[in-house]
Amino acid sequence: MEHLTLLIGVVIVTALAFDFTNGFHDTANAMATTISTGAMSPRLAVAMSAVLNLAGAFLSVQVAKTISGGIIDEKSGIRPEVIFAGLVGAIVWNLVTWLAGLPSSSSHALFGGLIGATLVAVGAHGVHGEAVVMKVLIPAVASPLVAGAAAALATRLTYRIGRNADPESTRKGYRAGQIASAGLVSLAHGTNDAQKTMGVITLALITGGIIAPGSNPPVWVILSAGTAMALGTYIGGWRIIRTLGKGLTDVQPQQGFAAQSGAATVILASSHLGFALSTTHVVSGAVLGSGVGRKGAVVRWGTAGRMGLSWLITLPAAGLVAAGATAVADQGTWGVGVVGVLGLLVCAGAYVLAQRNRVDHTNVNDVAPVGGSAPLTPAVAGAGAFDAFGGELAATIPAPAQAAPVTRKAAL
Amino acid sequence: MSIDWGALGSVFGVSIAVTVGLVGLFTLGIVGLGDRATATASTASTTSTTEGRGAEGRRADGRSGGGRGPLVRAGAYACFAACAVAVAYGIWLIAG
């Protein structure tokens, strides 16, 4: 019992750590366009998003129940070690994509991690294949398309209605609209994603025999999950904010408003109908749609393509990491220890790599505007998505002035 | 395995209709209030504005001159109110 309790404690801490990465990975979803259009100052935007995330966590526990009982079969012999390994896989993948500035889905990382770990630990019967297809894969394909189409039409419409209006007189209005729609996305995100962590912690408590199967998450679980996510949101995944707000297309206030409204609507409509979708996919689709919808806007399909690719591999990649982690963690206490240490090393490594080329609230918008259609001009590569891995990239491309000494060291 | 096309289709339809509707309403509200702002500010600047904005200024002037100002304004507020109701419904859905 002693051992069990310690292990479950480790699982809970890991789940909260995942929740934290989820928060900062997904700040961009609600706030990227709000920040890139200047509707809110970066600091204020992430603070508002954090508060609404926390508030959202308390609104509902509907999703939390389906995670613990939906995709993974709780009765197939899932042990806390397996959940732990799944979480490590999800965290590692979240950190890697964050370094690359890629808005990949935290939900997919979590599902992938849990599925990979379960497959290794108990085999295919532990995973509900149909639930995976219905609840994860189909929404992943459909939701960006729906959000993109909605945002494109809405963008077209709002430019049409406002074509004769004085930009000065409408600026305030669009600003308010952006803030309100981004707030709604934050709230929905808190409800959806904090619940996933609650679901995982609840699952761990169930597998450890601490609470009965089918229970609601206890209040302390809700509180800690909401807080961890809000903290992560407030820290802000500035790299991803930059990609989403500046990298896909040059977002104007009208587009930002249309995109966030579309995203909020799609998230609400589909979660009302029982699809657990990824806010990342929805928002990315909506931002792209708003680029398509504005006449004369340049959409960087190259960046969009890389993003799409990262979506495709998120689930299997997190699953693979988790599968490996499970194989080790299943060896017993020392295995869990090894996985824990390796996980911490990855976190530390990601942090160090990120320091080489910091992106934070002071420079998040300092990107050359989307001018030509060339997907990877030097200005883009120097300031854009893949600079964290940029040893070889930065060696061949003139890097931004202040980063130059560091990248040179990296190239050695 | 059966894919629930009906649910997917309704998400598609509802999302597009609601998004376009809300964004349209909100933009009408913004433009409505914006017209007022331009009307009061543009009497002096109509001559100096360029093509499109000049036309806009004239129209706004016509409105305020013809006494339609308050009506437009009320319409704009009605648009915003409708949007607020939709947002409240959205929050209610999240909580549900």
Query: CA B70, CA A393: separation in Å to the nearest integer?
Result: 60
Query: CA A269, CA A275: separation in Å to the nearest integer?
Result: 9
- Based on the structure, what is the number of domains in chain A? 2
A23: Cβ–Cβ under 8 A, 6 or more apart, which residues?
A50, A53, A193, A228, A229, A230, A231, A232, A233, A234, A235
Taking one residue from A and the other from B, the number of pairs with CB-CB distance under 8 angstroms is 141
Candidates A196, A203, A199, A70; CA nearest to A131 is A70
Q: Which residue has the tokens 């149909």?
A: A130
Same domain, A403 and A255: no
A40: Cβ–Cβ under 8 A, 6 or more apart, which residues?
A31, A34, A48, A178, A179, A182
Instruction: Over range A287-312, report the average pLDDT.
Output: 90
* Candidate from A180, A184, A265 with C-beta closest to B15: A265
| Residues of chain A with C-beta less than 8 angstroms from the C-beta of B58 | none
**In this predicted structure, what is the pLDDT of residue A370?**
54
Same domain, A282 and A381: no
| Residues of chain B with C-beta less than 8 angstroms from the C-beta of A173 | 26, 29-30, 33-34
Paired tokens of A153: 């039409």
Q: Cβ atoms within 10 A of the Cβ of A366, count?
A: 11
Three-class SS string for A53-91? Answer: HHHHHCCCCHHHHHHHHHCECHHHCCCHHHHHHHHHHHH
Paired tokens of A22: 């989820």
- Would the ipTM clear 0.85, i.e. be above it? no
Same domain, A234 and A251: yes
Same domain, A277 and A398: no
**In this predicted structure, what is the pLDDT of residue A216?**
79
Query: CA A405, CA A412: separation in Å to the nearest integer?
Result: 11
Q: Which residue has the tokens 């959409």?
A: A299
How many residues are recorded in chain A?
Answer: 412
* Candidate from A56, A138, A153 with C-beta closest to B16: A153
Query: CA B77, CA B81: separation in Å to the nearest integer?
Result: 6
Query: pLDDT tens for residues B21-71?
Result: 999 999 999 888 875 545 444 444 443 333 334 344 444 444 443 445 788
Angle between helices A106-122 and A2-36 (to 10 degrees): 150
Report yes or no: A228 and A14 within 8 Å, Cβ to Cβ.
no
User: What amino acid is encoded at B39 in this protein?
Assistant: A
Same domain, A284 and A343: yes
* Candidate from A133, A161, A270 with C-beta closest to B1: A133
Query: CA A357, CA A374: separation in Å to the nearest integer?
Result: 23
Query: CA A55, CA A71: separation in Å to the nearest integer?
Result: 26
Query: pLDDT tens for residues A339-393?
Result: 888 989 988 888 888 888 788 877 777 776 554 433 333 333 333 334 433 333 3
Give residue limits of the domains in chain B: 23-38+47-95
Report yes or no: A37 and A253 within 8 Å, Cβ to Cβ.
yes
Mean pLDDT of chain A: 81
Measure Cα distances from A10 to A17, A43, A320 in Å.
Answer: 10, 32, 21
Report yes or no: A57 and A386 within 8 Å, Cβ to Cβ.
no
Q: Which residue has the tokens 């790599």?
A: A353
Q: How close is the nearest chain A Cα to the Cα of B27, in Å?
A: 6
Query: pLDDT tens for residues A118-177?
Result: 999 888 888 888 778 877 788 888 889 999 999 999 999 999 988 888 777 788 888 999
Same domain, A217 and A272: yes
Report yes or no: A158 and A254 within 8 Å, Cβ to Cβ.
yes
Label residue A274 by pLDDT band (50, 70, 90): low
Same domain, A246 and A384: no
Query: CA A26, CA A18: separation in Å to the nearest integer?
Result: 12
Domain that holds residue A99: 2-371
Same domain, A58 and A189: yes
CB contact under 8 Å between B23 and A191, yes or no, is no
Query: CA B59, CA A130: separation in Å to the nearest integer?
Result: 59
Interface of A with B in 161-200 (CB under 8 A): 161-166, 169-170, 173-174, 177, 180, 184, 187-188, 191
Residue A239 gets the label, from left (phi > 0), alpha (psi -120 to 50) or beta, of alpha
Using DSSP's 3-state secondary structure scheme, residue A299 falls into: strand
A288 touches chain B (CB under 8 A): no
Report yes or no: B7 and A143 within 8 Å, Cβ to Cβ.
no
Residue A52 gets the label, from left (phi > 0), alpha (psi -120 to 50) or beta, of alpha
Same domain, A408 and A280: no
Report yes or no: A106 and A26 within 8 Å, Cβ to Cβ.
yes
% of chain A beyond a pLDDT of 90: 28
Q: How close is the nearest chain B Cα to the Cα of A260, in Å?
A: 9
Q: How close is the nearest chain A Cα to the Cα of B52, in Å?
A: 6
Range scoring the smallest mean pLDDT among A64-68, A185-189, A263-267 = A64-68
B8: Cβ–Cβ under 8 A, 6 or more apart, which residues?
A138, A142
**In this predicted structure, what is the pLDDT of residue A361?**
78
CB contact under 8 Å between A153 and B27, yes or no, is no
Q: Which residue has the tokens 């890139």?
A: A36
**In this predicted structure, what is the pLDDT of residue A257?**
93
CB contact under 8 Å between A180 and B24, yes or no, is no
Same domain, A153 and A30: yes
Q: Cβ atoms within 10 A of the Cβ of A235, count?
A: 16
Query: CA A46, CA A229: separation in Å to the nearest integer?
Result: 12
